[in-house]
A and B are shown apart, each in its own frame.
Chain A
Amino acid sequence: MGAYLIPFQALGQQVIRSVLEAWYLLRFSLGSIVALTRFFSRQGFRASARVTLQQVYFTGLEALPFLSLLSLLLGSTVLVQSLPQLQGVGAGELIGKILVISVVRELGPIITAMVVITRSGTAMAAEMATNRITGQVEALEGMGVDVFHYLIAPRVLGAMVSMFCMIVYFDVVALVGGFLVASLRLTMPISVYMAQIADSLQPLDLYISLSKGILFGLVISLFSCYHGLRARRAPYEVPMVARTGVIQAMFFVFVSSAVLSAGFYWI
């Protein structure tokens, strides 16, 4: 009888581990969000604000060249692929709708999130793990520095602000890419192109796209910092925690994007 129970015992232990893990992550997230709400009002704001600006620089500004290339290529590729189909059925005026649906609503937030995860999420997790392993986190705690306020909240805030701005930037550059293709293939004047985009773009599209950006920035930074700080004593843990953070952040981004889109546009 004992042998039959072994799989169930292993399953039970795995469930308990997962529930505990979820609880630790939730507790960490709540602590970070509380620190974020008191970010501007408490002692040490100036020191933390400097870390926030550095995070915006690393996450947002440094990623702009790469993001520009991605968004320009994406915007133009979407039209390169869809224009022949649309012209074939005499629906060339739908290019605005195609761009808004594919780029602004879905691909903009997701691709920007992927850029932030691969560039900044991994960097954040590795930095936090190194800080933990080399005793820097303990040193900060020993000085009375609130780790949530000084280490976590600036990164969360920086990632949220960066994601918000990067999505706006991504959408604009992607639409420019789309215009380049439209003007070459259809000799479409910019006023007509802009009018089509404006007709297709609803305020809800912008709200949801930008809300996704803020949510993804929050989650990417939280997951990265949480897993980074889980490292304990050995350098070999750095890539392990970075990988876990990236996988969980990607999973959350794709699932939540799908759920939000289904919730707002389909149901």
Chain B
Amino acid sequence: MNCVELKQVRLEVEGKCYLDGVDLTVAAGESVVIAGMPGCGKSFIPRLLLGLPGMENEQVNVGGDIIVAGDNVMALSSQDLQAFRRRVGSVMRDGGLIENMDMRANITLPLTYHYRDVLGPDDIQARCDAVLGDLQLAHLGIGGIRPVAVNREERIYVSLARAMVCEPFLLLLDEPCAGLGPGPASRMCRCLFSYQPAFTPPLPVPDHDQQTHLTRIATTVDLGRYLDSADRFLLMWDGELEDLGDRTAVLDSADPRVRQLLYADAEASADGPLGRVQMPHG
């Protein structure tokens, strides 16, 4: 069963085309990484899957179908969209933590907002403790520690904890390892693609079959970091999405664009000021 389907998705923001007829199918339980150069528009894919095409008052044109768990996201009403989003976890580039709340309040916020009628305060705190314990972040569970007081790595882990306490069926990761050193980034990759807590009792969500298979979609500029973690890899280039296949296919690829994303540090090319590979025309 497919968890995500993009059919001929086209996105223009302020007159600039970022996605030009993108097709993508992700099966339930599959882990997919979308790699591309900075500014290529790959971050719009997790945003579109959440029904967040652009900032308010921006001129945004979205075409095509964005189907997640059978729902056409862009056709959902405001209330249905909110109900849908509570079943989708997301880890944004800088974590997206609420700065005036401490870590515990950040992690429990979605539970407090959405599930206060089915979970008591003790259940909510127990879930928070369980996730913090799994991620070895128990020291951040002390009250009063605000996001400004922790480093970027911990912010991303807390953001992951906040996403996972609601038992999502889909986890969207927008460049979670950007700005981290090689060691922490590799550790985080493994964690992001393997961690799935089991809570008892589980939350009352309608998609029980999908709930057991967490689907993960990540975007990155550093393809090599994810080779051991994801099932399938895609390349975003000039508004189009190309399926690269699995780890072996990526490693065997002779495509200079793929090699640049794989060995970004080693092959920092002098093709352009941003190291972008110049493709032959025609």
A-chain residues with CB within 8 Å of residue B57 when the two chains form the complex:
24, 230
Which chain B residue shows the least CB distance to A136? Answer: B98
A142 and B92 within 8 A (CB): yes
**The one of A44, A139, A144 that contacts B98, using a Cβ cutoff of 8 Å:** A139
Say whether A114 faces chain B, with CB atoms less than 8 Å apart.
Answer: no
- A123-143: CB near B (< 8 Å → 1, else 0) gives 000010011101110111111
Which chain B residue shows the least CB distance to A145? Answer: B113
**The one of B58, B82, B84, B92 that contacts A139, using a Cβ cutoff of 8 Å:** B92
A145 and B110 within 8 A (CB): yes
Say whether B187 faces chain A, with CB atoms less than 8 Å apart.
Answer: no
A139 and B114 within 8 A (CB): no
B-chain residues with CB within 8 Å of residue A141 when the two chains form the complex:
50, 52, 85
- B78-109: CB near A (< 8 Å → 1, else 0) gives 10011111101010111011111000000001
B116 and A46 within 8 A (CB): yes
A144 and B85 within 8 A (CB): yes
Say whether A259 faces chain B, with CB atoms less than 8 Å apart.
Answer: no
Which chain B residue shows the least CB distance to A31? Answer: B78
**The one of B85, B93, B96, B110 that contacts A136, using a Cβ cutoff of 8 Å:** B96
Say whether A43 faces chain B, with CB atoms less than 8 Å apart.
Answer: yes
A139 and B96 within 8 A (CB): yes
Interface centre among A140, A143, A145, by most B CB within 10 Å?
A143
B-chain residues with CB within 8 Å of residue A143 when the two chains form the complex:
85-86, 90, 109-110, 113, 162, 166
Q: From residue 228 to 258 of chain B, which have CB atoms closer than 8 A to chain A?
A: none
Say whether B266 faces chain A, with CB atoms less than 8 Å apart.
Answer: no
Cβ distance A138 to chain B, nearest Cβ, rounded Å = 6
Say whether B55 faces chain A, with CB atoms less than 8 Å apart.
Answer: yes
Number of interface residues of B (CB under 8 A): 33
**The one of B47, B55, B82, B92 that contacts A145, using a Cβ cutoff of 8 Å:** B82
A-chain residues with CB within 8 Å of residue B97 when the two chains form the complex:
136, 139
A232 and B96 within 8 A (CB): no
User: How far, in whole Å, are A122 and B97 apart by their CA atoms in the complex?
Assistant: 23
User: How far, in whole Å, are A120 and B131 apart by their CA atoms in the complex?
Assistant: 37
B99 and A135 within 8 A (CB): no
Say whether B265 faces chain A, with CB atoms less than 8 Å apart.
Answer: no
**The one of B50, B92, B100, B109 that contacts A135, using a Cβ cutoff of 8 Å:** B92
Which chain A residue shows the least CB distance to B93? Answer: A135
B110 and A144 within 8 A (CB): yes
Interface centre among A24, A130, A138, by most B CB within 10 Å?
A138
Say whether A106 faces chain B, with CB atoms less than 8 Å apart.
Answer: no
**The one of A47, A132, A134, A146 that contacts B109, using a Cβ cutoff of 8 Å:** A47
Say whether B112 faces chain A, with CB atoms less than 8 Å apart.
Answer: yes
Cβ distance A225 to chain B, nearest Cβ, rounded Å = 12
Other contacts beyond A24-B57, A44-B114: 11, CB < 8 A:
A127-B100, A135-B93, A136-B97, A139-B98, A142-B50, A142-B88, A143-B110, A143-B166, A144-B81, A144-B113, A146-B78
A residues near B, CB below 8 A? 24, 43-44, 46-47, 127, 130-132, 134-136, 138-146, 150, 229-230, 232
8 closest cross-chain pairs (CB), A and B: A139-B96, A144-B85, A144-B86, A44-B113, A144-B82, A47-B113, A142-B90, A143-B110
